Structure 1
Amino acid sequence: MRFANSAAGQLRLPPLSPLPAFEATARLGSMTLAAEELGRTHSAISRQIKALEEALGLELLDRGTAPLGLTAAGKTLYATARMAFEALDSCMGQLRPAQGGETVTLAIGSSFATRWLVPRLPRFYALHPEISLRLTMVGASILEVDDYDLVTSWNRLGYNLPDDQAFHVLGDVSFALVCAPHYRFRLEAGRLLAETQLVGRWPITIQPSYRDHPLVVPIAERTLGFPHIHMCIEAAVGGLGVTLVETRLAQPELADGRLIAPLGVLTVEGGLVAFPHRRREPKAATRKLLAWLKAEAGADQPQSALRYDV
């Protein structure tokens, strides 16, 4: 599609209002995550992207993949839109009056942020009031752009890391199948048998040698999907089914008995990691955040034996 003829020097542009919705969806691989980030509904994001596709006469998203993929045209537009947004962000930062201190952009999964990081942020700001922390909900495509200083993850295998990507170990991770105490299940030959397994939109990725381990793989009659792992946890508390979690994410529920781990936990050494931007040297504020994350994770090592006697 060609846009209306322009006067000399005037740009011929598609509708610009849908571009933030498209950029966020392409970056995060999910309209749901884009809607959360932008404070809109899923349907609003979908309508805006559809309007952009109609204006261009091209499909931008490969809707047959999970997470959402991009067509060739979508990849081209995303790369250009991303550069334009970064240039605008940089320009706006230069125009704003100096506020003092430094901003660190931390890319983090929404469940890990909600369940582990955010409750601990008062301690970080008490130690480092001069640092402003900006959180962005992470998708694997975050590594392809410049919109982060540090990525933290307990699910490192969910990323296709470049060979030259450095990372810092923050601590161990422990995985467990959890359910409500009143949820009916059976144990047979060391396997947990349940009617329903609750899974997040992107299942937890663990080391290949553990992917069929009885401690993390139940035998279930059906599967129910949710956009985020923290929703699976809430559903499990309500007695809807069994779900696989990293125990930090469900620590309050495990501690007070709202959830149980019938088979105990599977601990993976060094599974909690952070990796800095690979194309630039970490700034001082980023190094302070990394040191604080190591201290917090070290003081919060997962429990090694959470059992329930059936």
Structure 2
Amino acid sequence: MLSPRRFLPSLSLLTAFEAAARTGSITAAARELDLTQSAVSRQIKALENQIGVELFLRERQTIRLTMAGESYAREIREALRRISSASLNLRANPNGGTLNLAILPTFGARWLAPRLGQFLATHPGITINLVTRLSPFDFRLDSIDAAIHFGDPVWPGAELTFLMQEKTLPACSPQFRQAHGIAEPGDLLSVPLLHLTTRPDAWERWFTENGVGFESVHGMLFDQFATASQAAIGGLGVALLPTFLIQEELKRGELVAAVDRPMQSAQRYYLAFPRERAAYPPLVTFREWIVRELAGTE
């Protein structure tokens, strides 16, 4: 149910308030909006009268947000940003075929980006905007239609479509493997190991699956696969890397299996999206395409 109209101020009042709140100055807001100072002051006063709350404290020639004003400014700023984003998206594709997609950095760079040209050529009415997100977020507070998610099949307020499983491989440079004489799983206990902060127990799981006893596992920490793989190529250690993301490095010989013992990851890849967007045509088209493309990948 929509709010009563008296609680829906006009855009001109809101933009005047937001500009003054952000700049901390009626003069600066007026300059930014190409209005007179008195016009901005009148609009802010009209907004305060409409909602019945004082938003600024007026002190001589200066203004300062009240506590209520600070909270309101944050909400209004985000609302204006989303309106602006929606308008830009519509202008870029008047038919409303824009899909705002959140991606995981390495998945997006290594797997998705090289294939997007094919998708867009096949579906010329769709525009895709990509943003990076490393962890789940609230779809209600972000103008994103869907997200690539790796983890458990849980995302509050969203639906999940299964995309693929994943295998990881202990990988290093060929020079590193030769220098350390690695031949058996237990040999990895005596070499530097590279860890991902998002998968803190991966090496423990790998050693357990391969029957290797250990007290503790230490090593360098990385927040993304891309940097971990480059560190492995550079000879800093052995990293557990998704096999589907390092195919080129394996083909070129930049990376090799330290020990040829791949491990099935405990978690999975999903496409997450808010329930109310499930039937949005660009999302439906993209969902069907990415499921087909990833079928059988691991």
TM-score relative to the length of structure 1: 0.61
CA deviation digits over 1:2-27, x for unaligned, max 9?
Answer: xxxxxxx96341349xxxxxxxxxxx
**Aligned twin of 1:282:** 279
**Aligned twin of 1:213:** 206
2:165 corresponds to which of 156, 159, 172: 172
Q: Is it true that 1:120 corresponds to 2:128 in the alignment? A: no
CA deviation digits over 1:11-51, x for unaligned, max 9?
Answer: 341349xxxxxxxxxxxxxxxxxxxxxxxxxxxxxxxxxxx
Q: CA RMSD in A?
A: 3.8
Q: Is residue 142–residue 148 contact of structure 1 (8 Å, CA) maintained in 2?
A: no
CA drift of 1:147 comes to: 2.2
Q: Is it true that 1:292 corresponds to 2:285 in the alignment? A: no
2:138 corresponds to which of 133, 137, 143: 143
Moved more, 218-227 or 119-128: 218-227
**Aligned twin of 1:5:** none
1:83 corresponds to which of 72, 79, 91: 79
1:110 corresponds to which of 100, 105, 109: 105
**Contiguous gaps of at least 5 residues in structure 2:** 1-14, 25-63
**Aligned twin of 1:204:** 199
**Aligned twin of 1:161:** 155
2:21 corresponds to which of 10, 13, 18: 13
**Aligned twin of 1:6:** none
> Structure 1 residues 78, 205: closer, same or farther in 2, change over 3 A?
farther
1:259 corresponds to which of 252, 255, 263: 255
TM-score relative to the length of structure 2: 0.64
CA drift of 1:98 comes to: 5.5
Distance 2:242 2:71 in 1: 33
Name the SS for the 1:89 alignment partner.
helix
CA drift of 1:82 comes to: 3.1
Instruction: Give runs of aligned pairs for residues 227-238 of structure 1, distance below 5 A.
Output: 227-238=223-234
Q: Is residue 173–residue 256 contact of structure 2 (8 Å, CA) maintained in 1?
A: yes
